[in-house]
Amino acid sequence: MQFNQEMKKSINLKKLSKDPSCLSDYDPNAMDFEKAQLYLEQFLTPVTAVEKLPIQDALGRVIAKDIKSSINVPNYDNSAMDGYAIGLNQNQLTFKVIGSIFAGSTTLQKIKPGQAMQIMTGGRIPKGCDAVIPIELLNEHDGLITIDELPKKYANIRNIGEDVKKGEVILKQGHFIRPAEVGLLASLGLAHINVFKKLTVVFFSSGDEVISVGMPIKIGQVYDSNRYSIRAMLSRLNVDFIDFKNVIDDKTVIKKTLLKAASKADLIITSGGVSVGKADYMKEVLAEIGEVLFWKLSIKPGRPLAYGKIKQAHYFGLPGNPVSAMVTFYQIVQPAIKKIMGQTNYHLPPCFQAKCSTSIKKRPGRMEFQRGVLIKKNDEWIVNPTPHQGSGILSSMTQANCFIVLNKNDSFVEKGSTVNVQIMDGII
């Protein structure tokens, strides 16, 4: 499915929330994974606020303005090897050594045909030099050097601007900053750069049965694991976050908390209360104070998943089940956060095929993200689904190192057949 201009015009969250039938094929209560991604694309507006940072503090941030280099890198022709710079003289293989050049010397030396100068890696190439001969490939004797064969023209010479050309846009707006980018920025001599401001994310849990760690637990209660896993997942994303703790299943309190969150946050993440139970109030409250794009996705785990807006803040309502909360965070919320952070072209790690060690029961209808353990056996990648796949089995997430991604229309998977796996390492 593609959004044509006409559809784009009609995609307005307010309108969609009030009248879901205004767009054919749109069902907020049963949306495909791919369709949810497409819709989100339309609504996730990237931040615009910019700040200037020293490059050493810019790791994990996003470039806010194209970066043009004001210099060539390297800014002089230089030697790629320790050896001798030579001036070719027809087919002659012996050269007279007339001096040496160290890295760091800024003087431009000169050699004539038939002459050589010893040169260190990074040393400035003398005028008249045709190639650099590595020390290992020559003989030194009586102030002369001899080589066995003629080198290729300009062998072992690194040219001015071969890495970055003066005036070139070397990093574009929306580029995510990894260690390599920090190094590249330093190679341009830049001490500071403009990056997008950090997002502020408010998150909280909801549920009367949910209690904080450190408290004694009564039968019928659960410790609040989601708030900690969500916090930990956010920590990896370089955002500022505020923990609003756990909120009881009370409509008024939920409403007050969401409004307070919206006044502070670019993004609000909640867990629990988006399902169809009697005490699941998120839906009612959202209908009053915000607009919602979808409530349910056709995925497993994680069917109850809401996205909408409360005032200017984006809102994700994750399911309460701990595995569902993590899976939906990684598969939907994390790419969304990347987009809002201003990063362009973020993709989850691609899937690759592995042999499944057991059969998997699946009914067509929902895309599934099962937890698996990927191992290499005799040059072949084998995936073992973790024994318990329930959406409450958080230990399946700690055992797993990959998701087994089963398509919506897939049915029973035979033992020994190939399945798509997505390694977790690239995600978390």
- Which chain residues interact with Mg ion by CB under 5 A? 207, 272-273, 320
**By rule CB under 6 A, what string of x and - marks binding of each residue 360-389 to ligand AMP?**
------------------------------
Contacts 24+ apart (CB under 8 A), 288-293: 288/255, 289/255, 289/258, 289/259, 289/262, 290/258, 290/262, 290/315, 291/13, 291/14, 291/16, 291/17, 292/17, 292/28, 293/13, 293/16, 293/17, 293/28, 293/39, 293/40, 293/43
Residue 275 binds ligand AMP, judged by CB under 6 A: yes
Among 321, 328, 343, 396, binds ligand AMP (CB under 6 A): 321
In angstroms, the CA 383 to CA 380 distance is 10
Residue 277 binds ligand AMP, judged by CB under 6 A: yes
Nearer to Mg ion, 320 or 322 (CB): 320
Nearer to ligand AMP, 79 or 205 (CB): 205
Which residue is closest to Mg ion by CB? 207
Residue 280 Cβ vs Mg ion, minimum distance, rounded to whole Å: 6
63 in Cβ contact with 195 (< 8 Å): yes
148 in Cβ contact with 93 (< 8 Å): yes
Q: Which does 226 bind (CB under 5 to 8 A by kind): Mg ion, ligand AMP, none?
A: ligand AMP
Q: Which does 50 bind (CB under 5 to 8 A by kind): Mg ion, ligand AMP, none?
A: none
Helix (H) or strand (E) holding 39: helix 33-43
Nearer to ligand AMP, 115 or 271 (CB): 271
Determine the interface stretch with ligand AMP among 39-47, 104-112, 119-127, 274-282 (rule: CB under 6 A). Answer: 274-282
Q: Which does 208 bind (CB under 5 to 8 A by kind): Mg ion, ligand AMP, none?
A: none
Residue 301 binds ligand AMP, judged by CB under 6 A: no
Q: What is the DSSP letter of 137?
A: G
Residue 230 Cβ vs ligand AMP, minimum distance, rounded to whole Å: 9
Q: Phi and psi of 143, rounded to 5°? A: 75, 15
Site residues for ligand AMP, window 226-245 (CB under 6 A)? 226-227
Task: Pick the closest to residue 393 from 422, 364, 370 (CA basis).
Answer: 370
Nearer to ligand AMP, 54 or 277 (CB): 277
Please name the residue that has the structure tokens 């099962």. 370
Which residue is closest to ligand AMP by CB? 320
Helix (H) or strand (E) holding 6: helix 5-10
Please name the residue that has the structure tokens 């069917």. 303
Among 174, 273, 317, 342, binds ligand AMP (CB under 6 A): 273
Other C-beta atoms closer than 10 Å to the C-beta of 74 total: 17
